[in-house]
Every structure is written in C-alpha cells, then in structure tokens.
Amino acid sequence: MERPGTLTESDDNLAAIRAAGRLTVYELFAEQALRQPGKTALKDKARSFSYRTTRRRVDALASRLESAGIRPGDRIAVLSENRIEYIELHLAAARIGAIVACQNWRLRKAELEHCVGLVTPGLLLYSPRFAETGTALAEQFGIAARSLGEDYEAWIEEPAGALPPPAQDTEAGLLILYTSGTTGPAKAALISQRAIIARMTLLQTDLDVEPEDGFLAWSPMFHMGGTEHSISTLAMGGTVYVADGFDIDFIVETIGTARLGWLILVPATIERLLEALDATGTEPVGIKRVGAMADLLPKAQIAAVSQRLRSPFLNTFGATETGIAPASRGVIAPGVVPTSLSKSLNSLCALRLVDAEGQDVADGSPGEAMVKGPTLFSGYWNNPETNARDFAGGWFRMGDLFTRNEDGTVDFVGRAKYLIKSGGENIYPAEIEGVLLSDARVRDAIVVSAPDEKWGEVPVAVLASDVADTDELARELISRCREELAGYKVPKALHFIDFDELPRSSSGKIVREDVERWLAARVS
C-alpha cells in the first residue's frame, strides 16, 4: 500500500518530474552557451570558436548525424589526432544519445580492426591524416565514412531539418575508450553521461577547478585525459585549448597567456617543457594543479616542475574506468621533494581493499581496490564474462593493490597482475621503483620479473640515467635498496637503457611487457 503523498509509476506527472531532475552533458554545455555566448569555447593554433558558434556547429553536426541514420545508442567510430571537430562530435553525440568510440591511431592494423569490429559502428569519421586507414576500415566493415577536413565543413553547412529535443537518459553511454591490450585484446570501456558529469563534479570539488580555468587538451583524445576533461571544461563554461599532441610551442604559449585548471603532464614530457619554458622565459599566468600520478616520476623532477610552474603537483590515482577517483585529491607543494606519496581519497566514491577471496584486509596489508560511485563506467562493451568477474558483488575490482594507512590515506603497491612471487614472497615492483626513483640521477626506472632457477622469479630493474659511470651508480642504488628494502626485494640486476629507448604507451607510461621482452632478448 502506497503512503499518502508518494508517487507511483502510474502517476501521469512522473515522466515530467523525472525529466526536470536531469541535466545531460549537452544541456550543461548549451546552458553555458546561453549564459556566455561570446566567450571562447574552443581554440587551437589557427581557429577560435565562441560558445555561440560552437553550439551552432554542434547542433548542425547532430542534425547531419541523424540524417545519416545515427540513433540513440548507435556507435560512431572516430580516428583522428586532437582537433576541434573531435570535441564537437562528443557534444553532438550527447545531444542525440549516440556513443563515440575513440580509436587509438597508434595501434597496428589488426588491433584497430579488433577495436572497430568490437563496437560495430554505424559511421566512421577520420581526419585527413588518417584517410588511408579510415577508408580501408570503412570498406572492410561496410560502414559509411566521412573526413573531418573540408568535407566536414561542407557537410555541417548543409540544410538541416528540425532536431528533436536533446536525449534525456544520463545513464546512456557517451564514450567508448579502450583499455590497454598488452596482455590480451583491448577492452572497450563504456562511459555514460552520468559518469562524465560526476567526474566533472570532482574536478570542481576535489581539484578546485573553476569555470574561469581553461584546459590544455594535448594528450590524445582516445584517452580520458584528452577527451573527458575537454567535455567537462565546456560543461563548466571554460575554454579548451586544443593541441595536436605535445606541440611544445602551442603549449608554452598557452601556459604564458591562459589561466589553466589542471595541466596534465606525463614522464616523457616534463624535461621538454622545462627546457622550452626556460628557453623562452615564459612564466605561467596561473595553473591550479600540474602533473599526474607522482609514483611514475623521480621525486626531484616533481619538485623541479612544480616549482617552475608555481603549482602544486597532483598526486593522482585513477583509471579510464573510474575517472580521477578513487585517490586523486592530494597534492605535493611546489618545489618540495616528497618523502611520501600517500594518496587522499576522492569524494563521490567508496573504496574497499580486499584479498583474493574478497575479504577486507587489515590496515597496512596489501589489498585489491574495489570501487563504487557515480564516476564509475558502465562496463566493458560486448564482454559479459569480464563484467561478471569485475563487477561481482556490486563493486568494481580495479586490479590495483593498495595499503590503507591509519589516517585514511592509501599507498599504491602495484598492479595485481605484476606481482612478483619469489620463493613464496610477494614483491610489488612499485615499492622498488620508488626507491630507485628517489635518486636524482635516475631519470626513469621500471622493475620487472625475470626467471630464476632457485626462486622461480626475481625482480630486475631497467633504468635510464645520464651519468657516465653506470657501474658506480648501480652499486650505490643496490646499497640504497638494501638499506630500505627487505633482502628478497633487492633487484638481482640493474640494466641501463637510453631514456628515449624506453617503450611507452600513448599516456607516457613505460610498457612493462615490452621491457620484459627487451630484457629477455638481451640476457638470452
């Protein structure tokens, strides 16, 4: 029996009441276009579009997509470098309820074919730079395709019919971003409008980003850093500065002329940026936060870049599947060499650390992170077996190991799949890497497993350094490891490699599997 005054599913007003309680990504952007139509929304090296113009272009594109037969839930694959049209596509898709599958142009042919085939798109958009690959994929899968060049401009200027009201389902997917396929075929993570809005909220509440803060979109838009934060910035009313990759001239110019919220930097970019800033004498107008996941960097470099940019370094831990959650709230003060990389948990998420049986571990004991909250993605597209495993019990298992401290912060231990089991002991590479990276002479380092007849497997380190006498450096590093780590965790060998030869993903992380293959070939 219903209580007096409650709503029922049969209430004639229920649909309207629920609609009034929703705001979609497109509607948030459109509201900003109404409030500040003349403000710059999108800017690249050659063009600058106001919110008014951007909305007109987005609505025109949405109309053309509908005319091409794209309906709510349909996928649109895009193969392109960073460009303004890429972001317009996201907003147009949000308006009609479609999903943009962002393709990694760095993949090999077979990998791209897997990613496109997995999501069965109804349309493929490609930039002129990738015309050959794009047209070949469209022909192979029998789908319509269009270029993002001059053809695109002519296309969106065609006469458009009346558009229906914007799609209202915030649980509907908006993005498909692919996770790393280094240990198997890439998985397609579906990210809803609800998740994007929740992630935008975290930028405001946990990173202090305001509508006046711009975003420099240089990281590839097939990653969350390029795409997700661009959408969030426009929904908040900021300006997105679109860079074609790590375009150092455009990036330095933007730092010197624009107020920025979060300047994302990854290991391979920092030294180039510092050199360019010093060479040009550029001083930042203002940057709220700089960097990402401090665990990946030498601690002296964290201090150097944060001091030069006069901005705290963001001590993050998030994922494509979770956004900046669960642990990206803490910062390292400018110019400070950190002694701890403990991470502060984000708002809008809950975190458990569990053992292999799913039982909560005690504080100080390593456990796999399980997360729930509105920033979470909506599962892997067309992958029910993985979804059943990773979402068992109503929490998402990240595959990352942490320990919880008494003050509520957490320490990253490593990926569960990278755990080294040596003679029955568990060794977490990230712990050893932290010791190695604490030496200012080490430019980068990674610890991998190597087979061992006695112990099964042992930790081995691969490092980059500019010092001439690497033998002496190796002896000193081993001595430091012996002082700070248990004996079984001390690397059994140190191998040096040129910094530029370290294999990296498009997000700047060292590709562990490639290092293991390089090492196996070297010692065989």
Q: What is the pLDDT of residue 6?
A: 64
| Nearest 10 degrees: Cα torsion 41, 42, 48, 50 | -20
235 or 452, which is more confident? 235
Segment 95-110 shows an average pLDDT of: 94
b/e 371-402 (16+ beta carbons within 10 angstroms → b): bbbbbbbbbbbebeeebeebbeeebbbbebbb
351: left (phi over 0), alpha (psi -120 to 50) or beta: beta
- Residues 69 and 122: beta-carbon distance below 8 Å: yes
CA distance 105 to 128: 13
Segment 440-465 shows an average pLDDT of: 89
In a 3-state reduction of DSSP, which class is residue 4?
A: coil
CA distance 441 to 262: 28
At 3-44, the pLDDT tens digits run 566 666 666 688 788 888 889 999 999 999 999 999 999 999
Q: What is the pLDDT of residue 194?
A: 97
Segment 448-473 shows an average pLDDT of: 89
CA distance 396 to 190: 14
Mean pLDDT, the chain, integer: 92
CA distance 124 to 394: 34
**For residue 134, what are the contacts with CB-CB under 8 A and spacing of at least 6?**
79, 124, 125, 126, 127, 145, 147
**pLDDT(55) > 70:** yes
Q: pLDDT class for 85, splitting at 50, 70, 90?
A: very high
Out of 137-146, 369-378, 428-437, least confident range? 428-437
Segment 372-376 shows an average pLDDT of: 98
Q: pLDDT class for 296, splitting at 50, 70, 90?
A: confident
**pLDDT(261) > 90:** yes
Tokens of 137: 């994929």
Q: What is the pLDDT of residue 203?
A: 97
> Which neighbouring-strand residues pair with 347?
none
At 184-228, the pLDDT tens digits run 678 999 999 999 999 999 999 999 999 999 999 999 999 999 999
Q: Residue 45's CB: how many other CB atoms inside 10 A?
A: 13
Tokens of 243: 């860079």
CA distance 187 to 193: 19
Q: What is the pLDDT of residue 2?
A: 54
**pLDDT(88) > 60:** yes
Closest CA to 32 of 48, 59, 55, 57: 55
What is the model's pTM?
A: 0.86
CA distance 428 to 436: 14
Judged on CB neighbours under 10 Å (0-12, 13-18, 19+), 8 is: exposed
Complete domains list, the chain, with CATH: 22-40+50-190 (3.40.50.980), 419-524 (3.30.300.30)
Out of 128-137, 403-412, 510-519, least confident range? 510-519
Q: What is the pLDDT of residue 429?
A: 87
CA distance 321 to 135: 30
Q: How far, rounded to the nearest angstrom, does the alpha carbon of residue 65 sit from its chain's CA centroid?
A: 27
Segment 498-520 shows an average pLDDT of: 84
Q: What is the pLDDT of residue 182?
A: 44
At 384-406, the pLDDT tens digits run 999 999 999 999 999 999 999 99
Inter-axis angle of helices 25-35 and 193-205, nearest 10: 50
- Residues 446 and 515: beta-carbon distance below 8 Å: yes
What is the length of the chain? Answer: 524
Q: pLDDT class for 379, splitting at 50, 70, 90?
A: very high
**For residue 57, what are the contacts with CB-CB under 8 A and spacing of at least 6?**
49, 88, 156
